[in-house]
Amino acid sequence: SPAWRVMFNMLMNMYHNHPVRIDIAGTVESIAQIDHELLYRCYETFYNPSNMFICIAGNIDAEKTLRQIEGAITNVIPVTIERGEILEPQTVVSNYVEQKLEVAIPIFNLGFKQKIETPYRRLKSKVCVNLLLELLCGEASPLYEKLMNEGLINDEFGSEYFTGNGYAAVIFGGESSDPQRVADEIKAEIARLREVGADKKLFSAVKCSMYGDAIRRFNSVEGIAMQLTECAMLDYDLFEELKLLKTVTYDDVMRRLDVFDDENAVLSVILPKGENL
């Protein structure tokens, strides 16, 4: 899958040691090392009631549901999971990687590796970076309009704040006849925002739009259950994101430009076979 390879090629060149760089499917060699003892040890460690959350949303009888859950779960010895320390340099392995596959048009991922201060990013940091990405390259941004008008991107273009235990990166991706030009334009827009700031009217509009999106997620019972699970795992309140979107300021968001460091950027490109950049 070209879309899968472009991302993991980027991660393998972004991270030296962190396991996020390893394709979750494994390799022939790593899969060959798995036996039934390892499978059972992983199951008994990670799929243990002491490491589990059950989050339920909907028109339910809470007491009856709790009785059913308690009657169905086998009491086992609680397991304390100790995660090893991963020594990950701040530098990237390489700033550029390419691969040739069967694609009609080049696809790319541009990632900026972020300095890790705590194992997980705080929710406020995530909210601020997501707001910043909308200001930088959302559909209402000057950069998005410019890239579209020049035919450098199409509606496959997007961005995300990719975070987890011990890693964080801002990633831009999509299809382009000239991925290097798109990367240069993104970096130039970041530099412009550092120098002159973003349009405050656009900031207000983006903030209102994201607040509306957060409210609409409560229309889905399934979505609420998923949000509850994330809150339980990351230890924050179900309505905390809404509170942050109400109170976060323009200056809060502009300070998050620190996530972009050109020296720690990786451009990953998948080219059509027979083509060179």
What is the per-residue pLDDT across 185-206, written as a single tens digit (0 to 9) for each? 999 999 999 999 999 999 999 9
pLDDT band per the 50, 70, 90 thresholds, residue 254:
very high
- Residue 178: name the closest of 147, 135, 221 by CA: 147
What is the per-residue pLDDT across 158-183, written as a single tens digit (0 to 9) for each? 999 999 888 999 999 999 999 999 99
Average pLDDT, the chain: 93
Average pLDDT on 47-74 reads: 89
Q: 233 or 209: which carries more pLDDT confidence? A: 209
Q: Which distant-in-sequence residues (6+ apart) come within 8 Å of 2 by Cβ?
A: 101, 102, 103, 107, 270
* pLDDT of residue 117 exceeding 80: no
* pLDDT of residue 276 exceeding 80: no
Please list, residue by residue across 169-191, b when 16 or more beta carbons sit within 10 angstroms of its beta carbon and e when fewer do: bbbbbbbbebbeebbebbeebbe
Amino acid sitting at position 94: S
Q: Could you tell me the pTM of the whole model?
A: 0.91
